[in-house]
Structure 1
Amino acid sequence: MAAQPVRRRTPGLAFAAASALAFGGAGVAARPLLEAGMEPLHVTWLRMAGAALALAPVALARWRLVLHRPLLVLGYGIFPMAGVQALYFAAVARIPVGVALLLEFTGPVLVLLWFRLVRRRRVSAWAVAGVVLAVAGLVLLLEVWAGLRLDAVGVSLALGAAAGQAGYLLLSDAAGEDTDPLALVASGALVATVVLGALAGPWDLPWAVLAEPLPLGGARLPGWVLALWLGLVCTAVAYFTGVAAIRRLSPQVAGGVAYLEVVTAIVLAWVLLGEALSPVQVLGAVVIVAGACVSQAAVPSGREAQATVPEAEPDLR
């Protein structure tokens, strides 16, 4: 089995933190658009279209990626980009931003299960403890003893986004060192825009909302400013730095650092939207984050990785 590539930890951590902070503002920026009458699919399409437009020169300049890795580009555009964002915004329309994001961020636990069940890598006791903590945290967050106070459909949508987030971490790692992260994000954004366009029908989008001043915190911002922020910062910048982080770290370590996104989203939702979790839900959020971070010990590296049963890597071409 080939030796593990050397991970560049310091710049990788910096990229991971930048990605988490950029992603963290998405739900807060989208909420005023959703409350103004836009459908979740419309907001998601605006987000992807903005990113695709900004990155179109990159996609055109590096078009050979589509020829060399068509399945990677298609999968990246459909699952991590179109899928995660559509499901997340649909969840945000029904449940609080922080709760939706916490549920989405059970994705690293799914990555753990992937490495254990599919890749046949040994799972440490820390990993098992992490999963137990994450499940316990979900019980507290959802307050299941009260008959699931949160909207059940919203919870299901957020968990669907978690599956898509797991795909984001795995596909980004599978892209390999030879794949330009910016080219992958640019091509994926174009795919996501086309796929979502067919589903959302942008011709039915209430474009007048973009000209309206929408409330965010104590200010009122034009809808187009929020849409632009979603496309450029929360998508183009966030995905580029995220892929760059995963390439320099690993999908597991990058997934752990990405929990800064949860903190960012919860703080912004509290300050700008007035959304606050109950004390029990705050405890659940802390337990979920702790469990997900502990579960990062699930994937061995170095000598341990070489001792596992080798399995063919997926050829995403």
Structure 2
Amino acid sequence: MPVRMSESSHGSRGKGVGLGLALASALAFGGSGVAAKPLIEAGLDPLHVVWLRVAGAAVVMLPLAVRNRALPRQRPALLAGFGLLAVAGVQACYFAAISRIPVGVALLVEYLAPALVLGWVRFVQRRPVTRAAALGVVLAVGGLVCVVEVWSGLGFDALGLLLALCAACCQVGYFVLSDQGSEAGAEAPDPLGVIAYGLIVGALVLTAVARPWTMDWSVLSGTARMNGDAVPAVALLAWIVLVATVVAYVTGVLSVRRLSPQVAGVVACLEAVIATVLAWVLLGEHLSAPQVVGGLVVLVGAFIAQSSTPAKGAAEPVSSGPAESELAVRETVV
């Protein structure tokens, strides 16, 4: 049966399930870079790895697309946006970034996204933000300065950092689009159908960009080196497709539907920690003390920014005068 959101999902039980799903998504997404980088170093182009990831996941989710075949007619813009930004954009920019800079650094830059969501709330949704939220953004940017070690003359590849920042911008689209229709109750689009068609759209776009027919397919029949150890390339690909894509997207979108883009973004920050630790243990990518401290500051800043953002649908604080109070009541009703 399609997954539908009911009013009970907004209760404490629904929020608990949502937090569990968000944590599972962070764990699943966190292992993608660690599994993909050995394939890239073995000879696959980053775009080819992205295409394999998205196309493989699209095939797995194809039965759900067939079940929701009316969805492209009902929500074409949502599916196109999700495929272009939340699937193709995020994955292509991130994988291209980790081919030039360490996995941990790429993830920490990408996870400026929760702070960027705050910009969406303030300038697009026209909702005021608190001083604490603004402080969180400042902390996140300051932590990023430490991560990239600006004082040493930008120690990392500038293009790699730019690609990671592009991934952050696309991830804002992932959080915002995942929340579309969450207030429509039984009329909300099936989130699994949105994921399935988003993967299909992303696969089609990436096919035109990556040109998989030029890929060195022989790499998949061999092994890749993970911190000196030989690992079957096909096993790494299976992990990327099934766990780091299918499981990650399903649990991530369902968590946003039960929580909100802001709250889900906070929990998703754990992905950066998970990926950095895995890259440290499995790939031998060690970060300096200032980078570790900077990464923690980025995550703390993102947490403060998102936890201080007004909840979706909440009435905004206004003056206590009669006219302002009446206006607030009218806006709440609307």
- Following superposition, the deviation at residue 296 of structure 1 comes to 1.1
State how far apart, in whole Å, the 2-side matches of 1:27 and 1:63 are: 32
State how far apart, in whole Å, the 1-side matches of 2:313 and 2:49 are: 46
RMSD of aligned alpha carbons: 2.0
Name the structure 2 match of 1:314: none
Name the structure 2 match of 1:129: 135
Which residue, out of 208, 211, 214, partners 2:224?
214
Which residue, out of 8, 15, 18, partners 1:12?
18
Q: Which has the higher contact order (CA 8 A, sep 6+)?
A: 1
- Following superposition, the deviation at residue 158 of structure 1 comes to 0.1
Gaps of 5+ in 1: 312-317
Higher mean displacement: 246-255 or 291-300: 291-300
**Kept after mapping to 1: 8 A contact 2:105/2:147:** yes
Higher mean displacement: 281-290 or 119-128: 119-128
Determine which structure has more spread, i.e. the larger CA radius of gyration: 2
After TM superposition, the score normalised by the length of structure 2 is 0.89
Higher mean displacement: 122-131 or 302-311: 302-311
Matched, 1:300 2:310: yes
Name the structure 1 match of 2:145: 139
- Following superposition, the deviation at residue 304 of structure 1 comes to 4.5
**Kept after mapping to 2: 8 A contact 1:218/1:272:** no
Higher mean displacement: 300-309 or 151-160: 300-309
State how far apart, in whole Å, the 1-side matches of 2:213 and 2:92 are: 18
Matched, 1:78 2:61: no
Which residue, out of 166, 171, 183, partners 2:172?
166
- Following superposition, the deviation at residue 297 of structure 1 comes to 3.0
State how far apart, in whole Å, the 2-side matches of 1:303 and 1:31 are: 41
Matched, 1:195 2:192: no
**Kept after mapping to 1: 8 A contact 2:262/2:306:** yes
Gaps of 5+ in 2: 1-6, 319-327
Q: Residue type matched to 1:258 in 2?
A: A
Q: Residue type matched to 1:17 in 2?
A: L
1:273-312 alignment to 2 at 5 Å?
A: 273-301=283-311, 304-305=314-315
| Cα separation, partners in 2 of 1:218 and 1:38, compared to 1, 3 Å | closer
State how far apart, in whole Å, the 2-side matches of 1:193 and 1:94 are: 23
Matched, 1:60 2:66: yes
Higher mean displacement: 139-148 or 292-301: 292-301
After TM superposition, the score normalised by the length of structure 1 is 0.93
SS of 1:32 mapped into structure 2: helix
State how far apart, in whole Å, the 2-side matches of 1:226 and 1:304 are: 44
Q: Residue type matched to 2:242 in 1?
A: L
- Following superposition, the deviation at residue 218 of structure 1 comes to 5.6
- Following superposition, the deviation at residue 106 of structure 1 comes to 0.4
SS of 1:30 mapped into structure 2: helix
- Following superposition, the deviation at residue 128 of structure 1 comes to 1.1
SS of 1:221 mapped into structure 2: strand
